[in-house]
Amino acid sequence: MSESLRTEERPLVAILMGSQSDWPILQGASEVLQHFSVPHEKSIVSAHRTPEKLRQYALTAADRGIKILIAGAGGAAHLPGMLAAYTPLPVLGVPVETRALRGMDSLLSIVQMPYGIPVGCLAIGEAGARNAALLAVSILSLENPTLAQLLRDFRSTQTQRVLDQRI
């Protein structure tokens, strides 16, 4: 994956990660957004190694048409919080599992934001990344009836799959 790879000309959602090693987890978010045909972009933006790039990215995101940021981070997991400090856009944090503490360090870092700088925090790992994308779709569907219907259909299909299961 290149450092900034767009799936469409005018992305509505940005998927951000601190390093390439986070992509296997965050790829699930991209797959969900693709399923719903939500234009999005993916980029590597490190809170620690590229702080100026992070600042510029967050400050210009809204002007570029981005509506929601999905930020995956492991360890100290400062990426979601630092993005939220620079933009009023919704930031959805995805804790990435680490070897040392299995992602609990990431989870605790993301949920411990001070009042006034909110970050929505999802589950650790791939389920969190996929749910972040579904939450982004849900937020976008507030102003897009077609997307709202696609989301209702998706959830109905999930429900039916469970109802159809037999033991």
The answer to whether the annotation marks 22 as part of a ligand binding site is yes
Cα–Cα distance measured from residue 51 to residue 107, given in angstroms and rounded to the nearest whole number: 21
Whether residue 156 is annotated as binding a ligand: the answer is no
Q: Which two tokens stand for residue 125?
A: 């790992």
Instruction: Judge residue 130's burial from the number of C-beta atoms within 10 Å of its C-beta, 0-12 exposed, 13-18 middle, 19 or more buried.
Output: buried
Per the DSSP assignment, residues forming a β-bridge with 43 are 4, 16
Cβ contacts of residue 95 below 8 Å, gap of 6+?
Answer: 72, 73, 74, 77, 103, 106, 107, 109, 110, 121, 122, 123, 124, 125, 128
Binding annotation = 19, 22, 49
Binding annotation for substrate = 19, 22, 49
